[in-house]
């Protein structure tokens, strides 16, 4: 389900400008082949947040083919980027794409489960992450974030993408019939639990937006 009228989205996207021309062919390929990459309106909001925050260390959970990792590196030329991907084919594609974008020297690609890889970063002494982007398996957002908070610094900004799941989070009638219904119901329940967590935990101040397929922007303050 489109949460925003398609004509309105198309109108707004006329004003989209990439942070670097190096991303143009990357996006064209992703959109042509229907490979999941961040939407233009999502990228625009991220660009503004990065300019305001000026992070030194970015953690991404859900690399996919590496578009957003390259975007973070090009947007923050002084920052270290840590990005985690569990799918082997996507991970291999990301390694190639990050290299093509010319940012492989600042992007550390980690293969495996998000929580496990974050724990390894913690054990390596990586800390004071000041920007987190979560765009991975929707039913695991909460455990990914709980792990990430262990290595986040005070004042970290956390962006959770695709929180509306094409309306599934909101409208129970959107769940398909048949064998996939249980999975969709689980995803809805888990996402709602996650939204409860980031909006009610006293350490976090969160704004929920209808940008793209839904976005949550959270400010984390250690208590």
- What residues form the annotated binding site for Mg(2+)? 135, 161-162
User: In this structure, are residues 103 and 94 in contact, taking their beta carbons and an 8 Å threshold?
Assistant: no
Residues 6+ apart with CB under 8 A from 125: none
The C-alpha atoms of residue 74 and residue 146 are separated, in whole angstroms, by 27
User: In this structure, are residues 167 and 1 in contact, taking their beta carbons and an 8 Å threshold?
Assistant: yes
Which of 173, 216, 167, 176 minimizes the C-alpha distance to 196?
A: 216
The C-alpha atoms of residue 3 and residue 178 are separated, in whole angstroms, by 25
Instruction: Residue 115: count other Cβ atoms within 10 Å of its Cβ.
Output: 17
Q: 88-100 and 67-75 helices cross at what angle (nearest 10)?
A: 40
> Per DSSP, what are the bridge partners of residue 110?
84
User: In this structure, are residues 73 and 79 in contact, taking their beta carbons and an 8 Å threshold?
Assistant: yes
Annotated binding site for S-adenosyl-L-methionine: 38, 68, 85, 135
How do 57-61 and 129-134 pair as beta strands?
Answer: parallel
> Per DSSP, what are the bridge partners of residue 218?
158, 206
Annotated binding site: 38, 68, 85, 135, 161-162
The C-alpha atoms of residue 74 and residue 183 are separated, in whole angstroms, by 36
């Amino acid at each position: 389900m489109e949460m925003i009228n398609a004509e309105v989205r198309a109108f707004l996207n006329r004003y989209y400008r990439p942070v670097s021309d190096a991303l143009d062919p990357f996006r064209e390929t992703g959109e042509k082949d229907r490979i999941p990459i961040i939407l233009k309106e999502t990228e625009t909001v991220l660009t503004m947040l990065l300019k305001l925050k000026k992070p030194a260390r970015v953690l991404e959970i859900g690399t996919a083919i590496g578009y957003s990792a390259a975007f973070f590196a090009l947007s923050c030329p002084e920052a270290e980027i840590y990005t985690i991907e569990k799918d082997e084919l996507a991970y291999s594609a990301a390694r190639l794409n990050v290299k093509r974008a010319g940012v492989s020297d600042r992007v550390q690609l980690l293969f495996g489960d998000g929580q496990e890889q974050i724990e390894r970063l913690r054990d390596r002494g990586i800390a004071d992450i000041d920007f987190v982007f979560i765009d991975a398996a929707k039913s695991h957002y909460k455990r990914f974030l709980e792990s990430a908070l262990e290595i986040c610094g005070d004042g970290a900004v956390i962006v959770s993408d695709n929180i509306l799941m094409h309306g599934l989070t909101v409208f129970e009638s959107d769940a398909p019939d048949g064998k996939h219904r249980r999975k969709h119901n689980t995803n809805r329940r888990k996402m709602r639990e996650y939204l409860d967590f980031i909006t009610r935990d006293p350490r976090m101040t969160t704004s929920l937006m209808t940008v793209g397929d839904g976005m949550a922007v959270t400010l984390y303050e250690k208590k």
